[in-house]
Every structure is written in structure tokens, then in C-alpha cells.
Homo-oligomer: A and B are copies of this chain.
Amino acid sequence: MTTVVARPHPFDVATTLTRSSSGSLFGNTTADYANMVGPFGGITAATLLRAALRHPDRIGDPVSLTVNFAGTVADGPFEVIADPVRTNRNTQHWVLTSLQNGVVTTTATAVFGTRRSSWADTELVAPRVDDPDSIAPQQFPRGLAWVHNYEMRFVDGGIDGLATGEPAGSATTVWLRDVPPRPVDFAALTALADTFFPRVLLRLGRIVPVGTVSMTVYFHADADTLAGHGDQPVLGTARAKRFAHGFFDQSAELWTPAGALLATSHQMVYFKA
């Protein structure tokens, strides 16, 4: 008889935090999610969210998360401080910090809330697109590690222009999925919200220096909706509003195949061009 031991998903390895004997939380960057410099921001954001999610005093589920990328995260260990600074009956407010050698690399705040049934409506309309199976997954060069943890099937606004030098609009519609497939929980959803390439690259049709300075995720799905979604692909859309003075914004939405809005996300990005 052969015993099959399930290997943990690379995402879970990358976002794991362990408590040291002094009580501090520590994580470790992994080569799997390396970006050009330091780890993929979505993994950093997901790791900070997990620090609150796994905290013994946590109440409710994530409602909003803002992560500010203060400095480069070096390969290796980092410390995370998760402070539930205010707990109300139905909401809880977190201040989250990541440090390396005592220097702040990332700041974040999160609001958790107890969800209850309420009047509901989605005003935004999900894009009507072809099934993911009918679109070939994007092939990526080996150089950039983190993208290989995601299957991206571009409906439009892909990255071909980066190879051909062709400027384009900033809008992208893409089917996204963890590789290998993994149930979409709040942490995975956070990382998925950061998988959209910086819009300025699409607009200019070339690689320029970029770095997200602040990213916010609003969680519209409750835990039941995520459990029902499982590991299906997520439909993502993203676009920018304005580029100026070395900064631009981009906003994104993440949908289930059935058209339920899981999350919306916004970020401000530094660029040099």
C-alpha cells in the first residue's frame, strides 16, 4: 500500500507564519513567489492578512485590507506584528506591520466584520466572456518566478504588446487561477487581486520601473460564497484612471464564473517613464 502525502500548496508555504519562543510571528520569503526585486506584493499582502486571520482574538471575516509597500523585502525571514487595536461587537480593526532587522518593510490595516444577511444587489455587471477552457493559458518566460503560480487566460488586454512594443489601453479581462488549483480563501483572493500587471506597462508597451505603493482590497464575498466557489477560475478585470507625476492608480474586480463579485481592489503605483 502506498501512502500519498499531500505536499502543501506553494501559496501556503509562502504565507506560513510561525511563532517564535519570544512570541513574535515570523515568515520566510520563498523562491516560488519571487518578483523582480523581493517577493510578489500579493504574497506579502496575503501573509499580513493571514496574521490577522490566524490570530486567536480574531472575530469575523475580512471586509477591507490596505497594504502599503514601504520598502524592498529582502529574501529571507521577516517578522509580522498583528495588533487588533479595536474590537467592537461586529467589527474589528487591525494594524499590521512587517519588519526585517527592525526596519519596517510593509504597513497595513484591516477591518474584519461579522457578516449578516441584508438587502443585497450588485450594480456592476460581470463581463460576458468565453469559458476559460476555450482560451489558451498565457506562457511566461522563466525569469519571473511568481507568475508561474498563476494560470492567466487573457480574454483581452494581454501582455503581447510588451513583447512587440505596442502601446495599448489599460483594460484587461483575464481568467485567473492558482497553479496548482487551490480553493480561493480570503488570503488567496488577496493575492489574486494583485496579479494584474502594472497598467503603465500595457499603456507604454514596454517595461519601465514600477512598484505598488499602496493596495486596498474590499472583500464582497462571505466565507460561504468562497467555499462554494472552491478552486474554480476567477474572472478578473483591471484598468487605470490616471497616470501623472510618477504615480498611477489601477482598479480591479474579481468575479466567480457564475457572476458573483468576490472582491474589488485598488492600488497606487509608482512608475518612472
Contact = CB atoms under 8 A, between A and B. Distances in A.
Interface of A: 63-64, 66, 68, 70-71, 85-86, 88, 90-91, 93, 95, 97, 103-105, 107-109, 111, 113, 115-124, 169-170, 200, 203-204, 213-214, 216, 218, 220, 222, 239-247, 249, 251, 253, 261, 264, 266, 268, 270-273
Given A123-B242, A241-B253, 8 more contacts: A68-B109, A86-B103, A95-B107, A121-B243, A122-B241, A123-B240, A216-B216, A220-B244
B246 A203 contact: no
Given A64-B214, A88-B71, A109-B108, A115 B242 contact: no
A181 B104 CA distance: 40
A220 B243 CA distance: 8
A123 B170 contact: yes
- Main secondary structure, interface of A, reads strand
A91 B109 CA distance: 19
Indicate how many identical chains form the complex. Answer: 2
A64 B213 contact: yes
Contacts of A86: 70-71, 103-105, 107
A115 B241 contact: no
Given A241-B123, A241-B264, A273-B119, A66 B66 contact: yes
Nearest to A224: B245
